[in-house]
Amino acid sequence: MKEPLFSLEMKVRDYECDMQGRVNNAVYQNYLEHTRHEFLLSRQISFAALTLQGINLVVIRAELDYKLPLSSGDTFMVDLDLERISPLRFAFSQVIRRSKDQKIVLIAKIIATGVNDRGRPELPPEVLALLPI
Protein backbone atom coordinates (compact mmCIF):
# COMPACT_ATOMS: atom_id res chain seq x y z
CA MET A 1 0.00 0.00 0.00
CA LYS A 2 1.32 3.44 -0.98
CA GLU A 3 2.21 5.89 1.80
CA PRO A 4 -0.16 8.86 1.94
CA LEU A 5 1.16 12.35 1.29
CA PHE A 6 -0.01 13.44 4.76
CA SER A 7 -1.61 11.79 7.82
CA LEU A 8 -3.12 13.18 10.98
CA GLU A 9 -4.15 11.29 14.10
CA MET A 10 -7.25 12.37 16.04
CA LYS A 11 -9.54 11.11 18.77
CA VAL A 12 -13.34 11.10 18.91
CA ARG A 13 -14.76 13.43 21.56
CA ASP A 14 -17.98 12.59 23.40
CA TYR A 15 -19.90 15.60 22.07
CA GLU A 16 -19.31 14.46 18.47
CA CYS A 17 -21.52 11.41 18.99
CA ASP A 18 -25.23 10.90 18.47
CA MET A 19 -27.64 9.18 20.87
CA GLN A 20 -26.41 5.75 19.70
CA GLY A 21 -22.84 6.65 20.74
CA ARG A 22 -21.62 6.86 17.14
CA VAL A 23 -19.96 9.85 15.48
CA ASN A 24 -22.62 11.95 13.76
CA ASN A 25 -22.26 11.77 9.98
CA ALA A 26 -21.65 15.53 9.59
CA VAL A 27 -18.72 15.45 12.03
CA TYR A 28 -16.66 13.40 9.58
CA GLN A 29 -16.52 16.44 7.29
CA ASN A 30 -14.95 18.39 10.17
CA TYR A 31 -12.28 15.70 10.52
CA LEU A 32 -11.57 15.85 6.79
CA GLU A 33 -11.43 19.64 6.71
CA HIS A 34 -9.15 19.86 9.75
CA THR A 35 -6.76 17.44 8.06
CA ARG A 36 -6.74 19.48 4.84
CA HIS A 37 -5.98 22.66 6.81
CA GLU A 38 -3.18 20.97 8.76
CA PHE A 39 -1.72 19.61 5.52
CA LEU A 40 -1.65 23.08 3.96
CA LEU A 41 -0.14 24.58 7.10
CA SER A 42 2.55 21.87 7.05
CA ARG A 43 3.44 23.21 3.59
CA GLN A 44 3.46 26.83 4.84
CA ILE A 45 0.16 27.68 3.12
CA SER A 46 -2.12 29.78 5.31
CA PHE A 47 -5.81 30.35 4.58
CA ALA A 48 -5.54 33.75 6.30
CA ALA A 49 -2.61 34.81 4.09
CA LEU A 50 -4.39 33.63 0.94
CA THR A 51 -7.50 35.58 1.93
CA LEU A 52 -5.40 38.72 2.37
CA GLN A 53 -4.13 38.13 -1.19
CA GLY A 54 -7.74 37.97 -2.39
CA ILE A 55 -7.79 34.19 -2.95
CA ASN A 56 -10.22 31.81 -1.23
CA LEU A 57 -9.81 28.06 -1.50
CA VAL A 58 -13.28 26.53 -1.75
CA VAL A 59 -14.79 23.05 -1.84
CA ILE A 60 -16.95 22.57 -4.91
CA ARG A 61 -17.83 18.88 -4.46
CA ALA A 62 -17.65 16.38 -1.62
CA GLU A 63 -18.06 12.63 -2.11
CA LEU A 64 -18.15 10.61 1.11
CA ASP A 65 -18.52 6.85 1.39
CA TYR A 66 -19.22 5.77 4.97
CA LYS A 67 -17.94 2.25 5.74
CA LEU A 68 -17.87 1.82 9.55
CA PRO A 69 -18.80 4.11 12.45
CA LEU A 70 -16.43 5.61 14.99
CA SER A 71 -17.42 5.73 18.66
CA SER A 72 -16.48 7.94 21.59
CA GLY A 73 -12.81 7.55 22.53
CA ASP A 74 -11.77 5.90 19.26
CA THR A 75 -8.49 7.12 17.86
CA PHE A 76 -8.19 7.31 14.10
CA MET A 77 -5.94 8.43 11.27
CA VAL A 78 -6.97 10.65 8.40
CA ASP A 79 -4.77 10.08 5.35
CA LEU A 80 -4.60 12.61 2.54
CA ASP A 81 -3.41 12.50 -1.05
CA LEU A 82 -3.63 15.23 -3.65
CA GLU A 83 -4.37 15.07 -7.36
CA ARG A 84 -4.90 17.59 -10.10
CA ILE A 85 -8.30 17.31 -11.81
CA SER A 86 -7.98 20.16 -14.33
CA PRO A 87 -6.02 23.41 -14.69
CA LEU A 88 -8.24 25.03 -12.02
CA ARG A 89 -9.43 22.08 -9.93
CA PHE A 90 -7.74 19.67 -7.58
CA ALA A 91 -8.90 16.84 -5.36
CA PHE A 92 -8.05 15.74 -1.87
CA SER A 93 -8.42 11.97 -1.65
CA GLN A 94 -8.90 11.17 2.02
CA VAL A 95 -9.32 7.97 4.02
CA ILE A 96 -10.21 7.65 7.69
CA ARG A 97 -8.94 4.47 9.41
CA ARG A 98 -9.68 3.32 12.93
CA SER A 99 -6.33 3.05 14.74
CA LYS A 100 -7.01 -0.13 16.74
CA ASP A 101 -7.60 -2.34 13.70
CA GLN A 102 -6.76 -0.15 10.67
CA LYS A 103 -10.25 -0.73 9.28
CA ILE A 104 -11.49 1.86 6.81
CA VAL A 105 -14.18 4.07 8.31
CA LEU A 106 -14.68 6.53 5.45
CA ILE A 107 -13.39 7.22 1.95
CA ALA A 108 -13.74 10.77 0.61
CA LYS A 109 -12.91 12.75 -2.49
CA ILE A 110 -13.07 16.50 -1.94
CA ILE A 111 -12.80 18.63 -5.08
CA ALA A 112 -11.65 22.21 -4.64
CA THR A 113 -10.54 25.31 -6.48
CA GLY A 114 -9.46 28.84 -5.71
CA VAL A 115 -11.60 31.92 -6.29
CA ASN A 116 -10.10 35.40 -6.57
CA ASP A 117 -11.60 38.65 -5.29
CA ARG A 118 -13.39 39.12 -8.64
CA GLY A 119 -15.17 35.78 -8.21
CA ARG A 120 -13.11 34.09 -10.90
CA PRO A 121 -11.33 30.74 -10.54
CA GLU A 122 -7.64 31.14 -9.72
CA LEU A 123 -5.09 28.91 -8.05
CA PRO A 124 -2.24 30.66 -6.26
CA PRO A 125 1.35 29.62 -7.12
CA GLU A 126 1.91 27.99 -3.71
CA VAL A 127 -1.04 25.65 -4.30
CA LEU A 128 -0.06 24.95 -7.90
CA ALA A 129 3.40 23.93 -6.66
CA LEU A 130 1.80 21.16 -4.56
CA LEU A 131 -0.16 19.62 -7.42
CA PRO A 132 1.17 16.72 -9.43
CA ILE A 133 1.46 17.53 -13.13
Instruction: Cite the active site residues.
Output: 18
Burial grade of 24 (CB within 10 A; 0-12, 13-18, 19 or more): middle
Q: Do the beta carbons of residue 97 and residue 79 sit within 8 Å?
A: yes
Q: Do the beta carbons of residue 112 and residue 56 sit within 8 Å?
A: no
- Ramachandran bin of 102, using left for φ above 0, alpha for ψ from -120 to 50, beta for the remaining angles: left
CA dist list (Å): 119 to 16, 45, 63, 104, 114: 34, 21, 24, 37, 9
